[in-house]
Structures are given as C-alpha cells and as structure tokens.
Amino acid sequence: MNCRFCKTNLTDVFIDLGNSPASNSFLTKEQLNEPETFFPLKVFTCPQCFLVQVDEFKKSEAIFNNEYVYFSSFSSSWLAHAKHYADKMQDRFGFDENSFIVEIASNDGYLLQYFKEKNIPVLGIEPSANTAEAAAKKGIESVVDFFGVRLATELAGQQRKADLLLGNNVLAHVPDIKDFVGGMKIILKQGGVITMEFPHLLQLIQNNQFDTIYHEHFSYLSFFTVKQIFESQGLDMFDVEEISTHGGSLRIYAKHAGDDKHPASPNVQHLLDKELAFGISNLDRYKNFQEKAFKIKTDLIQFLIQQKTKGKKVAAYGAAAKGNTLLNYCGIKSDLINFVVDANPHKQNKYLPASHIPVVTESVIKETKPDYVFILPWNIKEEVSQQLSYIKDWGGKFVVAIPGLQIID
C-alpha cells in the first residue's frame, strides 16, 4: 500500500483491529443465516507526511449507497452544534440572501436547514440517495453524487460556486483525498471560505479512541498533515479551532492561496506547535497504540463475563459505527449484551454486523430494566445518560469503555 497523499510505501502499522464487516452493514433477520463479508482493518502511518490511513478494501460506492443508515438529525446535541455553527458563520462572515452556501456530505439537511431559515441560498452534495431524500422534505436541494474535481468542475460551469463551502466529518471518509481537496479549490469563489470538521488524530492517540477506526474512515487526520494536503491544491489555512465534538475535533478554515481578505490567525501556528511538541511528526509517537487498545479489550470482556456470571443484564445504547468496531474487535456477541437501543428507525429491528446483537427501541429498556447500559457512542454520554436517567430508579448504572472502562452511578 502507498500513502494516498504522498505515495510513500507504507510499512509502519499503527494498529491492526483484525477483520470485520463494514460498520454500518446492519442485517435483517433473514440475513443472519447468510455469510457476511469481512475486510481487514489494519491502519498504517506514513513516515513521510504522517497521514494515518486504512486501505480502501470496502469501496466508498458500496458504503454510501441508497440504504445508508446514518441520519444526522437523530442526535439532539449534533443539531444544536449545527445551529450554533450556522449562527457563528453568519456573524463572522456576514452571509446573507446574496450568498451561496454548499455543504459536502449534507446528509439529511441537518445543518443547511439553519442557513435556509436565514433565507441564505444553500445546496447539499450527498452521495446517499435516501438521506438526500430526507433533506428534500426540508426543502433543501441536494446533488446526489460523490464530490471531487469532476463534480466541482460541473457545478463551477453552472456558476454554482460557494461563498462558504463546508463539510463535517467527511474529509476522513474520502479515499482520494487530493481529488477531493482539489475539487474544493475549483468550487470556491474568490474571497470564499472553506470550513471542515474532523476528529483530531491527537485526541485519538491520547484518549485511546481506536473505536473511531472503521472502513468508512479512510484517513485519520492531524492539522500538520491536512495543512500539507490543502497547500498542495492551492489552498491555505487561515484559522483553526479545537472543538469538543466526536471526542475532540478540529474545525479548519481555508481560503485560496494569495487571498488577503482573510488574514491568518495566530491559532494556526499555535496548533502546529502543539502538535509538533506532542510528536505528531515522530514515528515513535504512533507506537504502542495496539497495546492500549488490547487493555480496553480485556477489561471490557472481563467486566461483561463477570456480570453474566452474576446473573446481571447488560444492554447497550447507540448502534453507532464506533460501537461496532469495539464489539467486533473484542469478539462480543449477543450472549454478553442482550440488545442495543437506537433512536434511528432505519436501524431498529435489525442486527449489528458480526455480533448479531438486536437493535430495538428505547421502550425495551423500560420493559427489561437492565442492570447496566453500555453507552457505545461515548462522545454523547452526557446526552444519553440524561435521556436514560430513569434507569437509576431500579439501580441501573451506565458503562463506557473509552478512554478506559468506567462505571457511572
């Protein structure tokens, strides 16, 4: 395998999570007796540009198909984040009814709806037809296609260039990252702004967030590396923020190289210095991550077996992709976790890939009164623990596994 950015041959393994199915390949009851396709989940570190990456074993066209099950609007905290972002962008850059805002990977219109409420023209770009259809019901136009140089050239030819071009949690999802960033250069107006949000590699390493590794995420990104990728396509960073979403993310701000409308913030150099001091450009910093993941694995398995031996019931909440990575790496099945609750009806009445744990509605928690609720999407544990606070009425407790096993009374 060669680096998807700088083409250096890759031999340095960051972590090997074995073989697993695609994280969002949920199963129907009829499919439980059929064979599943497993793909290697081995991650490499590039010794040249320090892009951390997995090979494209599961093609993006197969992942983001017409039955894509992730709908952004089912998380209240994520909607609040999107609304705050829209308000902040309008306040900072003065977007109005004469502006044009384009979101890449716009999903079900969870974010663009807040710009639309401000009467600012918007366009979504979304490869999954079923989520784009949900956006259409909110009155948001979507181009159902994958983004890159080809599509950007088409839209630019239609005079549909963006004053604000944004993408949340999409930069890590693209196999050809140079083509993707090159497309952003084409579709951005002169004087326009790009913002991208993505989980921060530094946080992944510091907080043992190995469960955020799955086949949809082709790259794991530092500011140090993303800055290089953008500069290679004629785009410069002029600001960056560290934000709390997804366990610690970055929001980058980019512009056309040579554009003096947006002066560089000291945040850019500050974060570069922080990453370099951490050792982001030193291969030694990427070693021993496998051992940290293995400790979480053994601690979690021991906990679940202990509860099973005691006759306790353990349920899970959140049929998230990160949860599937964790469960499959640990080899956990439905004999140790009875069921998983998820608010998304597109996941309910299905089964998690490989583990075959059934996905049910929240009412099952109230009916069965489990002793423990294992919160798989630990990044929203506060939201979930508030929503399910009633489990304390029967002595129920919450459990999270990242960055280490923790029982929350």
Domain around 380 = 300-408
Q: Are residues 134 and 254 in the same domain?
A: yes
Pair of tokens at residue 230: 């953008």
HSE-CB of 102 using CA atoms within 13 angstroms: 24
On whether the CB atoms of residues 163 and 195 are closer than 8 A, the answer is no
Whether residue 199 sits in one domain with residue 280: yes
Q: Which helix (H) or strand (E) holds 397?
A: strand 397-400
Domain end, chosen from 262, 286, 310, is at 286
314, part of any domain: yes
Q: What is the pLDDT of residue 148?
A: 97
- Is 279 in the same domain as 186? yes
Residue 382 lies in a domain: yes
Residues 273 and 328 in one domain: no
pLDDT, residue 60, reads: 46
**Does residue 231 sit in the same domain as residue 356?**
no
Instruction: Give the closest residue to 163 by CA, choosing from 207, 77, 99.
Output: 99
Q: Which of 208, 206, 256, 260 is nearest to 236 (CA)?
A: 256
Q: Is 206 inside a domain boundary?
A: yes
6 occurs within a structural domain: no
Residues 331 and 220 reside in one and the same domain: no
Is 36 among the domain residues? no
The token pair that represents 293 in the structure block:
């993941």
Which residue in this structure is represented by tokens 């009164």? 369
Same domain (yes/no): 282, 304: no
- Does residue 123 lie in a domain region? yes
259, 286, 313 - which closes a domain? 286
Q: Which helix (H) or strand (E) holds 373?
A: strand 372-375
Residue 354 lies in a domain: yes
Q: Each residue of 226-261: b (16+ CB within 10 Å) or e?
A: bbbbbeebebbbbbbebeebbbbbbbbbbbbeebee
- The DSSP-derived string for 330-362 is HT--TTT---EE-S-TTTTTSB-TTT-PBEE-T
Residue pLDDT tens, the chain, 409 long: 899 999 999 999 999 999 999 888 899 999 999 999 999 999 999 999 999 999 866 554 554 544 555 566 667 888 999 999 999 999 999 999 999 999 999 999 999 999 999 999 999 999 988 899 999 999 999 999 999 999 999 999 999 999 999 999 999 999 999 999 999 999 999 999 999 999 999 999 999 999 999 988 999 999 999 999 999 999 999 999 999 988 899 999 999 999 999 999 999 999 999 999 999 999 999 999 999 999 999 999 999 999 999 999 999 999 989 999 999 999 999 999 999 999 989 899 999 999 999 999 999 999 999 999 999 999 999 999 999 999 999 999 999 999 999 999 8
Q: Kindly report the pTM of this predicted structure.
A: 0.89
Instruction: Please provide residue 19's backbone torsions phi and psi, each rounded to the nearest 5 degrees.
Output: -110, 140
Looking at the fold, whether 114 and 247 belong to one and the same domain comes out as: yes
356: number of Cβ within 10 Å: 14
- Look at residues 286, 318, 346 and tell me which one is the last residue of a structural domain: 286
CA 288 to mean position of chain CA atoms: 24
Q: At what angle do helices 149-157 and 177-187 cross, to 10 degrees?
A: 10
Residue 71's pLDDT is what? 64
**Residue that the structure tokens 């999903």 belong to:** 107
Q: For position 78, what pLDDT does the model report? A: 85
3-state secondary structure of 89: helix
What's the pLDDT score for residue 77? 83
Contact between 200 and 172 under an 8 Å Cβ cutoff? The reply is no
- Residue 365 in any domain: the answer is yes
The pLDDT value recorded for residue 63 is 47
Report the Cα–Cα distance between both ends of the chain, in Å, rounded: 46
The predicted structure's pLDDT at residue 247 = 87
* Tokens 């829209």, located at residue: 86
Cα of 357 vs its chain's centroid, Å? 22
